[in-house]
Structure 1
């Protein structure tokens, strides 16, 4: 399991002082980017050298409770499954042990001109 921490700033909140719903997607994106880097992959190098990028194919999300200004959140990312072309991850945004948001994210790789391609071998070897 990969853990990424983020503090809620004023800009993350709405008029009610709670985290705006779209910002949970930003939080989990940051955590996935950090996870990819931790796997030894450089996304800039992937794009420039190999001509491939990760894209989100699908997100199923549940908003369970609210986060507020100055909360310290922990984004927990767990690989659920992987094929040659698809990576499915479960991500939870937690305050302490309380799960505030949960998402299942399906990501794939595409060439820079938009055609599907296999996930990097380095990732497939490392995760399995």
Structure 2
């Protein structure tokens, strides 16, 4: 089941045309990913402090389908598309009243704080396995 995160469009999110500035969709999906990880019971600060592991975005493939505007109520859904040893691939979609506005596939990698690739902790892989869609 995809995780859902609500977002309200504020004036600061828009451009001169009154629509959401394209880069702000990346902020919206970042917030949704953080809340998705939290909903899995993963404490990213603890993971970094105790195991020296962090997540980084390796790749984003995005499609801008329709504009969102000031004061729109949006929903960002996050679903697991795939998991490998050190990667998580997510499908993220931004909708307004069920209408798809933006979609992205995001690849996250698991790294040491020094930037070297490292396998996902077994506990985290176990939490992700049931989420595969």
Q: Specify the TM-score bucket, using the shorter chain as the normaliser.
A: over 0.9
Residue deviations 1:8-46, cap 9 Å, x none? Answer: 001100111100000000000000000111111111111
Which SS does the other structure have where 1:14 is aligned?
coil
Aligned partner of 1:116 in structure 2 is: 117
Alignment deviations for residues 64-121 of structure 1 (CA, whole Å, 9 cap, x no partner): 0000000000001110010121100100000011100000000011000100001122
CA distance in 2, matches of 1:62, 1:81: 19
Show the 5 A alignment for 1:30-109: 30-109=31-110
Q: After TM superposition, what 4+ stretches of structure 1 lie above 4 angstroms from structure 2?
A: none
Q: Which runs of 5+ in 2 are unaligned?
A: none
Inter-partner Cα distance in structure 2 for 1:6 and 1:117? 32
Find the aligned partners of 2:90 and 2:28 in 1 and give their Cα distance.
Answer: 14
Q: CA RMSD in A?
A: 0.7
* 5+ residue gaps, structure 1: none
